[in-house]
Amino acid sequence: MLGSSRMYIDNCMNGTEEEVIKSNSHTVMQFDHQRFCFLVQEIVHHNDDRPTTHYNVDLRNLTCECGRFQTFHVPCSHVITACSSIRQDYSMHIADVFKVVNVFKVYEESFLGILTETTRPQYEGDTLCHNESMRRKKKGRLNSCRIRTEMDNVKKEKRRCGICREIGHMHRKCSNMPDPST
């Protein structure tokens, strides 16, 4: 990757390319020259489970109302639209951790091998034991965690016979049952 003169890692570039495609369907509605604040409106609904709406983008504080810019530290489609409206390169807002040079620096250091039980220092701290009663049962019917109210305390009526409607027996043992020969 260093030899190919790439600036950013592949995952970052792939995500950014998708956002550039989305940004083609956005327009800048308002722009504040002093504070570098934009109002970006989505024209086409993208399948992100979001309705089409407008978002405030602040390039000075590096924020967007959608939240993806702050979370992933990669420009979202709204930031890309705002940057293109003032003819600014959006890649300057990509965090330095995504640069190939910085990723390469991580692997410059040598890693120590994994310690075995004989070379590992003895643990002197507290011993933790798990509580069996807090473990979820894997088989069987789950216990209800519903909070019962007075509505749930309905008195059950005793079962009645299906033939004579009397309490105390079922239709199999009913004395009023018609004879099978009739």
Q: Tell me whether residue 76 is in a domain.
A: yes
pTM of the model: 0.58
| CA separation for the pair 24, 77 (Å, rounded) | 8
- Cα angle 51, 87, 44 (rounded to 5 degrees) comes to 20
pLDDT of 81 higher than 90 = yes
| CA separation for the pair 81, 55 (Å, rounded) | 11
76: containing domain: 10-106
Q: Tell me whether residue 84 is in a domain.
A: yes
What is the length of the chain?
Answer: 182
pLDDT band at 179 (very low <50, low <70, confident <90, very high): low
Q: Tell me whether residue 176 is in a domain.
A: no
Q: Tell me whether residue 155 is in a domain.
A: no
Q: Tell me whether residue 2 is in a domain.
A: no
Q: How many domains does the chain have?
A: 1
**b/e map 84-93, b = 16+ CB within 10 Å:** beeeeebbeb
The residue that leads in pLDDT, 92 or 119, is 92
Work out the number of other CB atoms within 10 angstroms of the CB of residue 16. 20
Q: Tell me whether residue 181 is in a domain.
A: no
- Residue-wise pLDDT tens digits, 45-72: 666 666 678 899 999 999 999 999 999 9
Q: Tell me whether residue 164 is in a domain.
A: no
